[in-house]
Amino acid sequence: VYEEFARQLQNGDTAIEIGVWLGRSIIYLAQELQRQGKTGVRLFALDNFQGEMGQVDHLETVAANNGNMRPAFEENLARCGVADMITIVDSDSAAAASQFSDGSMAMVFIDAAHEYEPVCRDLRAWLPKIKPGGIFAGHDHDHEPVARAVREIVGPVKTVGNVWLR
């Protein structure tokens, strides 16, 4: 799906991934944009870099990284040659939405929380940010609390594996 996202994004567009962990997917998107010659897309990576409460493997990994995943994320961006393409927003997801104008985002990809209420909060905060014809998508549609929140707030979506797209 990231190859298709890159095809749809144009120079001058703004896109954000919410919940980046160590950066695998946003790095892939940035590299695909490079391959397609679209280095003028503004990419934002939003995370609090503390892991998700209730996810034991997240908390253990965060603890092993001195309580914060951001340095590891930044190292991955630099190692993969995309650090200059991605602006990091170190914040709570829904709170950070106020930094962006409604209708300003060509793509919002949500892959943060997995519990129902936090997913609802993210969806409500970010849905207005999508410009007409923009991409609103997310991960973990195979996780019932995520799927339920998406059904209730976004409505019918297309799924590709465990990715949902509106």
Say if CB 27 and CB 53 are below 8 A apart.
Answer: no
At 125-163, the pLDDT tens digits run 999 999 999 999 999 999 999 999 999 999 999 999 999
pTM above 0.75, yes or no: yes
Which stretches of 36-143 are DSSP H helices? 56-64, 70-79, 93-96, 116-126
